[in-house]
Chains A and B, each alone.
Chain A
Amino acid sequence: MDKILICTGTSGIAAYAVEVACLFEELIKKHKLDEQYRVVRVGDRGLFRDVLVDVVTEDSRLVYEFVKPENVEQIVIEHLVGGRPVEKLLAGKDYEDFFSGQMRIVLSNCGEIDPEDIGEYIARGGYEALKTAVSMESLDIIETVTSAGLRGRGGGGFPTGLKWKFCFEAQGDEKYVVCNADEGDPGAFMDRSVLEGDPHSVIEGMAIAGRAIGAASGVIYCRAEYPLAVKRLQCAIDDAGARGFLGDNIMGTGFSFDIEIMQGAGAFVCGEETALIASIEGKRGLPRPRPPFPAVKGLWDKPTNINNVETFANVRHIIAKGADWYSSIGTDGSKGTKVFALAGKVKNTGLVEVPMGTTIKDLVFGLGGGMARKMVKFKAVQLGGPSGGCLPESLADMSIDYESITGTGAIMGSGGMIIMDQQTCMVDVARYFLEFTVEESCGQCTPCRVGLRRMLDVLIEITDGRGKPKHMTFLKEMGETVKSMSLCGLGQTAPNPALTTMRYFQDEYDLHVNKKECPAHVCPELLKFKVIEDKCAKCGMCQKTCPVDAIEWKKGEVARIDLEKCTECRSCIRACPFMAIE
């Protein structure tokens, strides 16, 4: 039977994918094509061109992009009934390039299978790895994962096999496997896509980990903001249980393993492993000093192995295809692939999976398709979210692997990658991240609670035009202090956004402090809302976007802003591709 795949993950649904899917079903019935076509609701494929609709027959596959409910009838009548594809809605070569340039292992099922149908997962080799693992000795599984070179995808990059070994060796009658699906980095969404698009791969990875360390229970700690992921996970857990891949005596081997889901309640620090454990135990999510590490004393004081969603999703491929295959991908120190979430001022926003060692340039200008607005130049890429840093264009040729990234003062983090252009102010970005971490600091330790607050105060002074040269020294010293003295990873990394922007964009800070200028035209207190005549191309874009009609413009004339009417909303500054409004 031929299939119509419709991407119905969170991003698809936001673009009316459910309506599109229902319409297809209705019209297929109406035109008596229901014997020939089956509508399959798949997860997000990773490219934000929703709604994506694929018509898959035995020997062909055509992809429609940006499909809206009102396009469905045309596709059904012209293509499905008439046999003539609707050319103008078909995805072009750039769509193909976006996918052909990737190496999709973790994402291989995302956007291809119905995540709520375990049969489709099994048909693509699902649960084969678990079958293999249950007949292996614990140490053999651990050895395979170790020699594959898999490192934790949650941010730290700790070798996964080694972590499993610690937990395996820890004394305890009961042990736990925990999946960290808290995805706290505001700008990363790969874990969500995997959970929504291929939940069984995470479950299978957890069960294999359970087998390896000798645990009988697993917990998935999922972010509260991801209701669809929770729903699909629960469905997958139930189905896996019904098929005997979870539960008692799995495949008659005596190995038992069950998984529960716990929903987070909105606290970034709960992504930190000891805080996450406290939260599962029903307490405030406060981190505690390590050691003891969770591998020795974790959930309910029992040995606990915590891994990230993407880490678990890699496991089944390693068991199925072997450590040698996996370790042949990537660089010396960083094996396998990594999923990155491209967002911000880049043309193709979405998820890309590439071998470790790919350069920033390849991602931004290759798969990312370059800048969203050709006139406004690439400036920096932010890696690693609130714990990470901003890397300038001059580092664009750098290979992305754990060692290289750490050397720059940023971190790999979970793979969130925000592309910034000339209209992004680096001082403002540093301030933004500190606002975030100040808000999210749990407040237990003084360096993080007070130190970050002071750094934020100073950054506000600078962006508001009251910066002094001594502020720079203060930020550096305080940043180093907070980094070295904080209790948990939050404080130990929270100064990174400020420190890296100072390191790579010193001139921008200088302009703010000494000249009271914001070259990106972002910081409101430093803006004049005046059109720079030399730069104005007289295009009128600003006038069209002004919500309060405060801009006068006639064809062929320089625009003028009426400051009486202006509400300083900055719409015009954003709209102007020539940066002609200061």
Chain B
Amino acid sequence: MPAVNTSEVKKSDIVGMIEHHREKKGVLIPLLQEVQDRYGYVPKEAVEIIAAELDVYPVDIYGILTFYAQFHLKPRGRHIIKVCMGTACYIMGGKEILDHLKGTLGIEIDQTTEDGNFTLEVVSCLGCCGMGPVVMVDEKFYGRCDLQKMDEVLQEYGK
């Protein structure tokens, strides 16, 4: 999902999402996933609204948000680069790709470039291990990557 990163959190939107889940048991994770789909991350304001509406402590929500790798508490860049560090990709050179991207973009894992264009993340296995090393930019997969190919890919996204 391309990150939207709307910083403006409308209470009515969040309440709408809560209503959609309210009747079910164990709603928190799907609800937070929906919030993140909408905003690209889970804004603090959203956590507070959810806590109040569902009558839980914000700390319980943060407990979940920090446990699962998928959730983000800060806005992310326009393009999310995910470098696969699953076993197959690692053996095929994923780490070199990651180091190269860190160097070229001047950021570390989970950081965003200053212009807000790229966020660099790692994932363990995207499920196409046979094409390793694999990199995913937003929704698109790039297989059998090498450093030169990475430079071309970055250019495609306005580096």
Taking Cβ atoms with an 8 Å cutoff, the residues of A that contact B are 10-11, 13-15, 47-48, 50, 183, 185-189, 192, 224-226, 262-268, 279-285, 300, 341-345, 349-350, 382, 385, 416, 418, 420, 424, 429, 432-433, 436, 442, 545, 547, 567, 569-571, 574
Question: Does B70 contact A224, Cβ atoms closer than 8 Å?
Answer: yes
Most interface-central of B28, B29, B125 (chain A CB within 10 A): B125
Binary per-residue interface labels of chain B (3-32) against chain A in the complex, 1 for a CB within 8 Å, 0 otherwise: 000000000000000000000011111101
Q: How far is the CA of A14 from the CA of B128 in the complex (A)?
A: 9
Cβ-neighbour of A416 out of B68, B87, B131 (below 8 A): B87
Closest residue on chain A to residue B36 by CB atoms: A265
Q: How far is the CA of A186 from the CA of B127 in the complex (A)?
A: 8
Cβ-neighbour of B70 out of A189, A266, A345, A545 (below 8 A): A266
A341 — which chain B residues lie within 8 A by C-beta? 129-130
Q: How far is the CA of A300 from the CA of B87 in the complex (A)?
A: 35
The reply on B158 being an interface residue by CB < 8 A is no
Question: Does A11 contact B131, Cβ atoms closer than 8 Å?
Answer: yes
The reply on B90 being an interface residue by CB < 8 A is yes
Q: How far is the CA of A533 from the CA of B87 in the complex (A)?
A: 32
Closest residue on chain B to residue A224 by CB atoms: B70
B86 — which chain A residues lie within 8 A by C-beta? 186-187
A284 — which chain B residues lie within 8 A by C-beta? 63-64, 67
A224 — which chain B residues lie within 8 A by C-beta? 33, 70
Question: Does A11 contact B87, Cβ atoms closer than 8 Å?
Answer: no
Question: Does B126 contact A187, Cβ atoms closer than 8 Å?
Answer: no
Q: How far is the CA of A218 from the CA of B142 in the complex (A)?
A: 35
Question: Does A350 contact B87, Cβ atoms closer than 8 Å?
Answer: no
Cβ-neighbour of A281 out of B25, B126, B142 (below 8 A): B25
B70 — which chain A residues lie within 8 A by C-beta? 224, 264-266
Closest residue on chain A to residue B124 by CB atoms: A186
A574 — which chain B residues lie within 8 A by C-beta? 93, 96
Cβ-neighbour of B127 out of A47, A226, A300 (below 8 A): A226
Question: Does A189 contact B129, Cβ atoms closer than 8 Å?
Answer: yes
B131 — which chain A residues lie within 8 A by C-beta? 11, 14-15, 48, 50, 349
Interface size on B, residues (CB 8 A): 46
Cβ-neighbour of A545 out of B32, B91, B100, B146 (below 8 A): B146
The reply on B92 being an interface residue by CB < 8 A is yes
Q: How far is the CA of A436 from the CA of B94 in the complex (A)?
A: 14
Q: How far is the CA of A541 from the CA of B9 in the complex (A)?
A: 54
Cβ-neighbour of B68 out of A11, A185, A267 (below 8 A): A267
CB pairs A–B below 8 angstroms (15 shown): A11-B131, A14-B143, A48-B128, A48-B130, A224-B70, A262-B30, A285-B68, A343-B88, A349-B132, A382-B87, A418-B129, A436-B124, A569-B96, A570-B96, A571-B147
Cβ-neighbour of B91 out of A50, A285, A345, A436 (below 8 A): A345
**Min distance, Cβ A82 to any Cβ of chain B, angstroms:** 32
A192 — which chain B residues lie within 8 A by C-beta? 127
Nearest first, the 9 closest Cβ-Cβ pairs linking A and B are: A349-B130, A186-B86, A14-B141, A48-B130, A282-B26, A265-B68, A187-B87, A266-B69, A343-B88
Question: Does B126 contact A225, Cβ atoms closer than 8 Å?
Answer: yes
Q: How far is the CA of A385 from the CA of B100 in the complex (A)?
A: 26
Closest residue on chain A to residue B92 by CB atoms: A344
Q: How far is the CA of A10 from the CA of B132 in the complex (A)?
A: 13
Question: Does A280 contact B90, Cβ atoms closer than 8 Å?
Answer: no
Closest residue on chain B to residue A547 by CB atoms: B147
The reply on B123 being an interface residue by CB < 8 A is yes
A442 — which chain B residues lie within 8 A by C-beta? 67
Q: How far is the CA of A547 from the CA of B147 in the complex (A)?
A: 7
Question: Does A282 contact B143, Cβ atoms closer than 8 Å?
Answer: no
Closest residue on chain B to residue A545 by CB atoms: B146
Question: Does B33 contact A282, Cβ atoms closer than 8 Å?
Answer: no
The reply on B99 being an interface residue by CB < 8 A is yes
Within 8 A of A (CB), among B99-127: 99-100, 103, 123-127
Binary per-residue interface labels of chain B (131-159) against chain A in the complex, 1 for a CB within 8 Å, 0 otherwise: 11010000011110011100100000000
Closest residue on chain B to residue A263 by CB atoms: B33
A429 — which chain B residues lie within 8 A by C-beta? 91
Q: How far is the CA of A344 from the CA of B94 in the complex (A)?
A: 12
Q: How far is the CA of A364 from the CA of B42 in the complex (A)?
A: 45
Q: How far is the CA of A432 from the CA of B87 in the complex (A)?
A: 8
B124 — which chain A residues lie within 8 A by C-beta? 186, 268, 436
**Min distance, Cβ B54 to any Cβ of chain A, angstroms:** 10
